[in-house]
Structure 1
Amino acid sequence: MSAPENEHAGPRVDEPTGTSTMGHEWDGIEELNTPLPTWWLYTFYACIVFAIGYCVVYPAIPGIKEGSHGTFGWTSRGQLASEMDAAKAARAPVLAALDATPIEDLPKNPELLAKAVAGGKAAFKVNCVPCHGSGAAGSIGYPNLNDDDWLWGGTLTDIQTTLEHGIRQPGDAATRTSMMPSFGRDGILKPADVQDVVSYVRQISGQEPGNASAQRGAALFAANCVACHNPDGKGNRMFGAPNLTDKVWLYGGSRTAITETVTNAHAGVMPAWGNRLSPATIKMLAAYVHSLGGGEAFAATAAPAADAAAQTATSTGQ
């Protein structure tokens, strides 16, 4: 780098542009002294003033333990808390009405029922979607809540009790419990006998024609299965025993799937939500599940008081 030829004459003016130079030269390239536009400078200064004002008014400067609070006292957390309180206050009348209304009386109040269904839909997305899916269609081992096949009953009361106490939930004395024997694993039936029972089940569910294996399976079914599934194979809600004559299967209806079920059985667990969610939220969830298409009228399936606790759940399928 070389200095200008005449240091006392000041920066040289670039003849083509008429702009003075900065007095710097690199390999014959000189830097022109081109000032920033005035509007840009004013905008920059305004931003500085705004930033200083923002730091004074709002929390902006971090510290070791906490940041600055700002003279307005505003925080995003405080705003969120205020909005949450407002939403809670808006919901309070609906929640109070739900607390005061027995769930079997919800259909008598269509407006409250509609609000309960809407609230239950939101609660379902938060708590139930991981197992039952966003559309409540379920998957292998997780019941489809849209159909009308229920292990324990599909009235509002049934669904409410299942939500409160769950299925095979450890620590809940009122949980819905049923236990199918593992006929193959425990040696109750030989492998050939298991296949005969599978043939019979697939026959009564309309998946296979009758044959000699199914005939042998009918006798085995009568000796080992009718106590829970009933002689016609249509199940018993008192025991949570599924209907084996339809084509709705919780763990699959193929020969392989039914063989696995008869051999090793299944014992899925549904959480007891009674100690996690409020009673009003439980009612809203029950109303939403009941509204999906498979809900049953209370009068059609109401059980005697002594059996009501045993006939409750939201699980569907076999």
Structure 2
Amino acid sequence: MSDEQIDHETGVGTTGHEWDGIKELNNPLPRWWLWTFYACIVWGIGYTIAYPAWPMISGATSGVLGFATRTEVAQDIAAHEAENADLVAALNAADLTDLPPTDDLHRYAVARGGAVFRAQCSQCHGQGAAGTTGFPNLLDNDWLWGGDQEAIAYSIRHGIRNDTDWDARYSQMPAYGEIFDDGEIAAVVEYVTSLGNTDFDASLAQAGEGLFMDNCAACHGNDAGGNRDLGAPNLADAIWLYGGDRAALTETVTNARFGVMPAWGQRLSEEDVRAVAVYVHALGGGE
């Protein structure tokens, strides 16, 4: 194929490229496009000089203007904290159980606590705080260690059964699979089932009652109503963290449960901990 040729129809030279008889004209680029292109090159060079741009081994060029988005964010956060300093101080000093819902401090705590909850707590307890299997529902009044604002704040601050905070809430149920045989486990499960269910084996439940009184009542109470000082749940209210059917109860009695909650006081500020407690309480659960 020859080099540049003249197209007879347009009088414009071709590039020498041809596809199925169609030749590519060697038209020059429009001047407006060229000047726009050159302007973009000049602008790009100026931008990389003025602002952080080129990656280096351990960082990037800082730019002659010294601009950094992190600095702007830090300034915005500092300004926000300064504006709310009085509310934060008041929240840290407040008796959480005595914050009227109409009070500005309560409204601030709910707004702040809601933001923290959605960012840090919703992964386990759900966006609406209704929980799921193994993660407590925070909307009801079933609280293992107390449901007023101060008790909730303590649980958030120190966590549950973790090994990073010496003040964490702690309870330990024995794995009765190492103590009872299968028949005894079935009897205890049937007795617990009978506490909130009309469909049960009465003779098996009666046998399980004696085992329950001898082994379980010390923590759960003779009426199975639980003990908050020990973190022992109420077994008679039909509210179950891991499920209340016979299979789930058998698993619980046999192997026990050991849910862990982080000590959020090691990750969140005290005002955030207290704000989340107020927010959770305001959802309608608690006491």
TM class, shorter-chain normalised?
Answer: 0.7 to 0.9
Aligned counterparts of 1:201 and 1:144: Cα–Cα separation in 2: 21
Aligned AA (2:162)? Q
Q: Which residue of 1 is the match for residue 196 of structure 2? A: 205
1:113 maps onto 2:113 in alignment = no
The one-character-per-residue Cα deviations of 1:118-160 (angstroms, maximum 9, x if unpaired) are 2112212232223222322222221111111111110111111
Q: Which residue of 1 aligns with 2:216?
A: 225
Q: CA deviation at 1:240?
A: 1.5
TM-score (norm 1): 0.79
Name stretches of at least 5 consecutive residues in structure 1 with no aligned partner: 5-11, 297-318
Corresponding residue SS for 2:177: coil
Q: Which residue of 2 aligns with 1:48?
A: 41
Same amino acid, percent of matched pairs: 49
Aligned length: 286
Query: Would the aligned equivalents of 2:143 and 2:286 in 1 still touch at CA under 8 Å?
Result: no
Largest Rg, 1 or 2:
1
CA distance in 1, matches of 2:23, 2:3: 11
Query: Is 2:192 the partner of 1:195?
Result: no
The answer on whether the counterparts of 2:7 and 2:14 sit within 8 Å (CA) in structure 1 is no
* Residue among 286, 290, 299 paired with 2:281: 290
Cα distance in 2 for partners of 1:123, 1:239 equals 29
- Write the letter of the residue equivalent to 2:68: T
Distance change >3 Å, CA 23–CA 81, structure 1 → 2: closer
1:9-38 deviations in Å (ceiling 9; x for gaps) = xxx75432133x269587998764422222
Change (3 A) 1:227 1:80: same
Identify the match of residue 242 of structure 1 among 211, 233, 238.
233
Instruction: Assess, with a 3 A threshold, how the Cα gap between structure 1 residues 191 and 23 changes in structure 2: closer, same or farther.
Output: closer
Letter aligned with residue 162 of structure 1: S
CA contact under 8 A between 1:229 and 1:241: conserved in structure 2?
A: yes
Check whether the contact 1:199–1:208 (CA below 8 A) recurs between aligned residues.
no
TM, length-normalised to structure 2: 0.87
Kindly report which structure 2 residues correspond to 1:55-134, keeping only aligned pairs within 5 A, or say none. Answer: 55-107=48-100, 110-134=103-127
Change beyond 3 A, Cα 1:207–1:255: farther
Q: Which runs of 5+ in 2 are unaligned?
A: none
What is the CA distance between 1:281 and its match in structure 2? 1.1
Change (3 A) 1:3 1:59: closer
